[in-house]
Amino acid sequence: MTRVSRELETHVAPSAPGDDVDRPPDTHVVPDLGRTDVPTNATALAEAREQLVAWASTAGLDAEQIEDVALATYEAMANVVDHAYDQPGGVFDLHACRHDDQVTVTVADNGRWKSPVCGKQSWRGRGLLIIERISCEFELTRHARGTVVTMSWSVLVDESHPQPTRP
């Protein structure tokens, strides 16, 4: 287990007995997706994205939500490549889970935010705005040991396990 993985565990509270007393049990069970020490290169990012899309398609999300999850997560992973490390060889962790009717994806790195090159014009820099706009919930946490991006979506359609309507 990497340090980033341990850091992620501190952001995800374990469920305690009785936490879901008023909620029906989650009828859609999908194992978590966990990738640790993903290299910050194009091949590894593409593979992580493919694995995330495959996982999301089993998590009860509709096609548009799967596209949103893939785009937002790719933007977070690209930010690691662009901003977390001054030297090649950086890594990040990717975690996705479904709890009840919410899917949460976390991208965490061990880097330090790189300052942009002065005087260099960039047409980029919209990744965080994209993530914020297409996720239901978004949190960016920077600390001395790296950055954690947490994004969540509500499951709108779960065709394999229809949920009862709530008043």
Q: Which domains does the chain have, with CATH numbers?
A: 29-115+123-154 (3.30.565.10)
- Provide the percentage of residues in the chain whose pLDDT is more than 90: 55
Range in 21-25, 44-48, 79-83, 155-159 with the lowest mean pLDDT: 21-25
Q: Which helix (H) or strand (E) holds 2?
A: none
> What's the confidence (pLDDT) of residue 160?
53
Higher-scoring residue by pLDDT: 47, 167: 47
Beta bridge partners of 108: 93, 148
Helices assigned H by DSSP within 16-108: 42-58, 63-79
pLDDT band at 28 (very low <50, low <70, confident <90, very high): low
C-alpha 83/C-alpha 116 separation (Å) is: 8
**The total number of residues written for the chain in this structure:** 167
What 8-state DSSP symbol labels residue 155? -
